Structure formats: structure tokens, C-alpha cells
Structure 1
Amino acid sequence: MAQNAGGFGYLLKESLAEIGDLAEAIRRIGTGGSVIDPTVVACLLHRNRATAPVDTLPHREHEILALIAEGRSNEATARHLTVSGKTVETHVRNVFSKLGLESNIVDHRRVLAVLTYLRA
């Protein structure tokens, strides 16, 4: 269905009260349309999505990550939030830890944190 949604149908038999509904669905599918039972759509829209790591951050850490994503330095973030630079450093370190971005010589954690933020 993801590759070609045309000519696709999925109906639940208990949702078909009238033979005319089935006939209409078959006609629509036959002309390249798609039919999906409203019950299935509702389930898909209301299913629990996996919690993104960014969603688990406390408000202040989420706010700091958003400022990092805007390209702000720790110093600019501290001025913007009227907190000390040490406070921002602590929050940034916590963000990295909670996002699973451990320090190493290969990766740039600020960039990886922003990418994680944008994906969420």
C-alpha cells in the first residue's frame, strides 16, 4: 500500500450493512481508487506511537535543545534564559545523556542532538 495506494481496499465485513456499500467499494477500487474501512483508519490514527527520546525531556531541557537547534551557543542560551553558563552546561550534558549521545572523538553531539530534535 505504501508503494501504490491505487486499487487497494480493506473493509471489515461487520461494517458492511448494505450490499450497495460493497458494490460502491468494488467500483472505486476497480477504477484505481482506494477504500479503507473507517474503523481501521480510526485505529491507525489513535494507536500509541513510540515515545521519542525528545518527548521524555523535562521542559527546561527541551527548551535548551530547541535553542541549540536555533544555532545558539551555550553563552547565548544562558543570556536568553537569564541563567548561568554552568546551568546551561549541566542541562546540555543531561540532554546528551538522555538522548544517548555519549562523548567520543568521532561524533558532534550538538549536531546529533539537533537531528534527534528535528526528527521528533
Structure 2
Amino acid sequence: MRVVIAEDLLLLREGLVRLLTELDCTVVAAVAGPDALLDALDREQPDVAVVDVRLPPTFRDEGLRAAIEARRRRPGTPVLILSQYVERTYVRELLADARGGVGYLLKDRVSDVRQFGTDLRAVASGGTVLDPQVVRAVFDRLARTTPETRLTPREREVLGLMARGLSNSAIAGELCITERAVSKYINRIFAKRDLPPGDTVHRRVLAVLQYLDDISA
């Protein structure tokens, strides 16, 4: 798997290079700024980009904005965003095209090498991965919705696993239930979250977007 890295801190950048090499990835470019990132993506067209949110010159959201621009130039470009905190301003826009191939992880997750590799492969293959800490942060808000739209504890579990990018079969394995039961829960979630019938993958992404709306409310 060919990877481009964008991280301004040299030690972290070199650490990511070594980590990805251990995960049998080929790092084709490791850059420190948004312009260099866009150049590398245009030139290398990697399988996935790993991008820090805060890049020079202002160290605010240049990484996120560069990722959005990269996906505008080449729709569906897989991007895994790394952040020290939950940055909501542009995350919804990053996910909004519903093409998948997007991940948002807090940097602490990189310490779990095996899970990081799993998440990276999921994004590279077109999946959507949302950090479990972000998922957990929204559970209280979901519990405070109106009775008509309130999710049951099991539905919240299923939605949380969906937001982490798990497939129906993986959710079934995680919760020790059947795939048929998972499908029923997901259909109930779609109904309660007012997501009309249509493309299932698109509705899963919309469910994640509603998570982000709930967090920022």
C-alpha cells in the first residue's frame, strides 16, 4: 500500500514513516506542509494519505483544508486525518461527498499499531472510520433527543460501530448477534434519524454526519 504523509513535526513524521514501514506500507512521500501535500498527491496518486490537521503556516486547519482540496481535485482520494483534538469545522465537509475513503482519528490511536493498520486499510479500501472517542462523545447527546427519535442502547452501539467503519458482518461479530439482527437495527436507526430509503452506503455516511452535527450542536 502506497502512502503519503503530511506532518510538520520531524520526529512524528519520521515515526509515522517507520510505523507504516512496519505495517508493510511504502511511504512514497513525507511532507511538512499543505502545498507539498497537494503536490505529492498529484504526483504520486497514493493508495491513502495520512494527514495532520494542523499544518503550517498558521497550524490551525491547513491539513484538513488540503485534504478537502485533494478530494476536490481527485474525487474519492482516500485520506486518514490525524488530530490531537476533535476539530469539527471542516470534518463534516470532508465526509459530505459520501464517497467514503475517509478517516478521522485522534493521535493517541496511533499507539495501537494493529488497530491503526486496520483503520488505514479500511480507509484505503473506501471505508469511513471515525475515532471511537468521538463516537462515545456523542452518546449523551443522542440520549437526550426526543422520545420519537431516541435510540435504544443497542441501536446506539450499532450506530457507534457503523461510525467506526465496521461492516454488518463485523458489527455482528463485535456484538455477538446475527447479521440479520444488525440489518434490522440499522433500518431502525435510519428511520429514527430520518434517513430516507436509498443507497445504503450513502445513508451510513449520512448517519456519521449526523454524529458530527450532534457533537457540534
- State the TM-score, normalized to the length of structure 2: 0.29
Q: CA RMSD in A?
A: 2.2
* Residue 68 (str. 1) matches residue 162 (str. 2): yes
Alpha-carbon deviations, 1:3-58, whole Å to 9, x = none?
A: xxxxxxxxxxxxxxxxxxxxxxxxxxxxxxxxxxxxxxxxxxxxxx9x547x7101
Give the 3-state SS of the residue equivalent to 1:63 in structure 2.
helix
- Which residue number corresponds to residue 104 of structure 1? 198
**Number of aligned residues:** 69
- Are residue 57 (structure 1) and residue 151 (structure 2) matched? yes
Q: Secondary structure at the match of 2:197?
A: coil
5+ residue gaps, structure 2, are: 1-140
The one-letter code of the counterpart of 1:59 is: P
Q: Please tell me whether the aligned partners of residues 66 and 117 of structure 1 are also in contact (alpha carbons under 8 angstroms).
A: no
Query: Considering only CA atoms, is the larger Rg found in Structure 1 or Structure 2?
Result: 1
Q: Aligned-pair distance for 1:82?
A: 0.4
- Aligned-partner residue type, residue 153 of structure 2: H
Deviating runs (4+, > 6 A) in structure 1?
none
In structure 2, the partner of 1:14 is: none
- Bigger fraction of residues in strand: 2
Query: 1 or 2, which has the higher helix percentage?
Result: 1
What pairs with 1:9-20 in structure 2 (closer than 5 Å)?
A: none
Q: Would the alpha carbon gap of residues 86 and 94 (structure 1) be closer, same or farther in structure 2, given more than 3 Å must change? A: same
State the one-letter code of the partner of 1:62.
Answer: R
Q: How does 1:2-41 map to 2 (within 5 A)?
A: none
Spell out the pairing of 1:85-104 with structure 2 (5 A cutoff).
85-104=179-198
Measure the CA separation in 2 of the matches of 1:104 and 1:88. Answer: 18
8 Å Cα contact 1:68-1:110 kept in structure 2? yes
Which residue identity is paired with 1:88?
V
Q: Structure 1: where are the runs of 5+ without partners? A: 1-48
Which of structures 1 and 2 has the larger relative contact order (alpha carbons within 8 angstroms, sep 6+)? 1
Report if aligned partners of 1:65, 1:117 keep a CA contact under 8 Å in 2: no
Letter in 1 for 2:197: S
* Distance apart, 1:99 and its partner CA: 0.3
